[in-house]
Amino acid sequence: MKKPFYIDITKNNLCKSVQSVVKITLLIAASCFYYACKNSSSSTETLSCSEFTIQDFSPITNWQKDSITHKTIFLDYNNANSGFIIPSIKDVPNGLFSFEFEIKNNTSSSQNLYYKIYYQNESYKFEEFDSVSMAQNVYAEENFYGSWENTSTAFKKITVANDNNFHKIEDAFRIVGNPRNEERYIRDGENNRWQRNPRVGKYSFLLVVATENDLKNIPSYIQNINQKNKEHFVNPYYFFRYGGGKDLKATIANTSQTELKAIAQPNLGAGIYIDGSRFGGEFDNSNFCATCGQDSNLYKNAPIQQFINYVDISTKMDNIPVIADILKDNYSKMDYNWNRSFYSKEELIPTILQTSKHPCTTVFSDPIEKKIIIKNPKTKFGEWKKESVGIITRHGFTYGKYRVKVKLTELLNKNNVWNGLTNAIWLITQGGGEWNFRRNCNKDGGYMATYWGGPNDKRVPAVDYSEIDFEILKTPPYCPDNVFPPVFKNTGDNAKNNSSWNIPLPEEITNADGSVTVACTNWDMACHEPKNFGVGCHPVPYQNQIFEAHRWDHNYRALTEKKEESDDELFGAEYFYFEIDWRPTEIIWRIGAEPNKMRVVGYMNDQVTSIPNNQMLLIITQEYHNTKWWPGAPYSQDNLPFPLNDIPGEIYDLTIE
């Protein structure tokens, strides 16, 4: 066994937090010396207490061996319905990360020592330590941390001889969902690890080694992360960095410099699964094919499924009996004005916004180009449908930076008339009830109980509903009560005086004629707990920008910010990126032509809105909205024609990191 160079820190109290300061200084000096002596590129770290010394903790030795500190892994979507496993057996043969460290007995006799490895998602976590209460941050127990899959495997025993030699210890672990094996996700004896999937982003690795005596002082709820202390989990990272574990003199907690970045990037050419329950009892399966349908391959491996919008029957509208291609037919504002004024009531078509009844007719997965195509179908006389279309992911995550590369339909034509569609990129709860409840809301009775209920809905402490939206459509960008909704002139229907019916739009609308509004919304279910919860319009500053967040009333379930952007830029180019950066304490909405050219268009934090912490799915839709949802919208959905031609949109990439 090679005897590596190491630094022996003899004072036990330097084993813990102080060691980090010293460590950096010494490491720099040691590195210089080491390189000078050995001319080798491998770096080492040695930590000692009076009883033992450990070194060379390498949490992942069998993955990306060339990269020591920064490793990346893409989540394997094959057969991932029961939850993501990092690594999968496709990544490494046994489906486990190997880790190793070396240990030396510093005492005069052989001794039993105990070790355990922990991992934690660092990208989307609450800080473990609360500097105000000087205790664990109450939300740190929500962090995604784990250890060996079998949580009852506490610390593993090793017997180390007093031979003054380092002994290499090798073991393995993997990152799985529900790492604490919480009862919340276990049903009928089955651990539904997919209900708490591993988070994307960076992971850290913590090796803890303790003597037998110290082990007795490590609480069982730290040794077995399945256990709770007073109804709450205690984050082992907190315990060993800031809590009782910090003071254990014969315990070394070594956080590796190696970090692993987990990225989810589903193959959009891997097919679209059809969930029959979304289409009612019997449905037309005549369009099923290898890349869209219900076969077992798609069931196991398709990362996407066809999305069917919730249709609010109460939003029935009487639509003008016109079928036209607004984007191609040179449809003008004058056309809009005439059609608005000169159809009598009996000529209108009572319309309910529709969703597809024929799966796989409006969504397509292209395995060659690895993209998805969606299209709002054209309609014809007697059919008169405005049909929304979309797709939804099948694997939920909590938090993540969701970035999509898309070319969705242009919303305005060359006359800047809106085609009535809303392009939406949004996250929605994975549903499921209690297992997916958001954190309790502890003020004024909690959340509004349902998504669809009115203002008199009852309040409950917890709900599973959550939603974070990008909705892009033609509507005024500002807060309705802040800069005031536009005043529209009254229109008449005197055909012998075209100034009676051909009323121009207000100047503030025409000034931004080629723009659409990017609406960024968080459905916080009207939880009053955030410190700055408010109604009306409130400025939310972020990075030299001020975003006006708007909420209609105290029982309104969503908070929205709006920004005006060029329709041509967002939907006229070959592709464009949209990003929802969902973090534990903030949500950032960004858009841009390239991933490195993103700009912020919306920002909210936990001071103004309840940030969801449950598991959500991503949806991309081109949907028809009732414009009554959007006060001040210059075009009314019922006065816009039915689509004469298909309206396609393409999705090229989805990356969650």
Burial status of residue 583 (CB atoms within 10 A of its CB: 0-12, 13-18, 19 or more): middle
Name which of 231 and 282 has its Cβ closer to other proteins: 282
- Please identify, among the stretches 44-52, 150-158, 257-265, 495-503, the one whose residues bind other proteins according to the rule CB under 8 A: 495-503
For residues 601 and 215, give the distance between their C-alpha atoms in angstroms, rounded to a whole number. 51
| Site residue total, other proteins (CB under 8 A) | 54
What are the residues facing 101 on neighbouring strands?
169
For residues 638 and 134, give the distance between their C-alpha atoms in angstroms, rounded to a whole number. 58
| Residue from 375, 328, 327, 336 nearest 633 by CA | 336
For residues 1 and 527, give the distance between their C-alpha atoms in angstroms, rounded to a whole number. 60
Name which of 147 and 351 has its Cβ closer to other proteins: 351
Taking CB under 8 A as the criterion, the residue among 119, 139, 145, 338 binding other proteins is 338
What are the residues facing 210 on neighbouring strands?
114, 251
DSSP result, 369-414: TTEEEEEEPP--TTT---B-EEEEESS-BSSEEEEEEEEPPPSB-T
Name which of 164 and 310 has its Cβ closer to other proteins: 310
Taking CB under 8 A as the criterion, the residue among 76, 127, 295, 318 binding other proteins is 318
Task: Write down the residue that tokens 């299209």 correspond to.
Answer: 375
Interface with other proteins includes 351 (CB under 8 A)? yes
For residues 609 and 525, give the distance between their C-alpha atoms in angstroms, rounded to a whole number. 9
Interface with other proteins includes 489 (CB under 8 A)? yes
Interface with other proteins includes 68 (CB under 8 A)? no
Which pair of structure tokens corresponds to residue 237? 């990272």
Three-state secondary-structure class, residue 424: strand
What are the residues facing 442 on neighbouring strands?
none
Residue 474 CB, nearest approach to other proteins (Å): 18
Residue 505 CB, nearest approach to other proteins (Å): 12
Interface with other proteins includes 552 (CB under 8 A)? no
Residue 284 CB, nearest approach to other proteins (Å): 12
Interface with other proteins includes 534 (CB under 8 A)? no
Interface with other proteins includes 412 (CB under 8 A)? no
Name which of 331 and 437 has its Cβ closer to other proteins: 331
Longest dimension (CA), the chain: 108
Taking CB under 8 A as the criterion, the residue among 4, 486, 514, 534 binding other proteins is 486
Residue 491 CB, nearest approach to other proteins (Å): 4
Taking CB under 8 A as the criterion, the residue among 8, 247, 312, 347 binding other proteins is 347
Taking CB under 8 A as the criterion, the residue among 4, 95, 321, 534 binding other proteins is 321
In order of 53, 99, 248, 448, the CA distances from 215 in angstroms are 16, 21, 9, 46
Interface with other proteins includes 482 (CB under 8 A)? yes
Taking CB under 8 A as the criterion, the residue among 504, 510, 585, 628 binding other proteins is 504
Residue 313 CB, nearest approach to other proteins (Å): 10
Question: Contact residues for other proteins (CB under 8 A)?
Answer: 316, 318, 321-323, 329, 332, 334-335, 338, 341-352, 354, 381-385, 482-493, 495-500, 502-504, 506-508, 539, 546
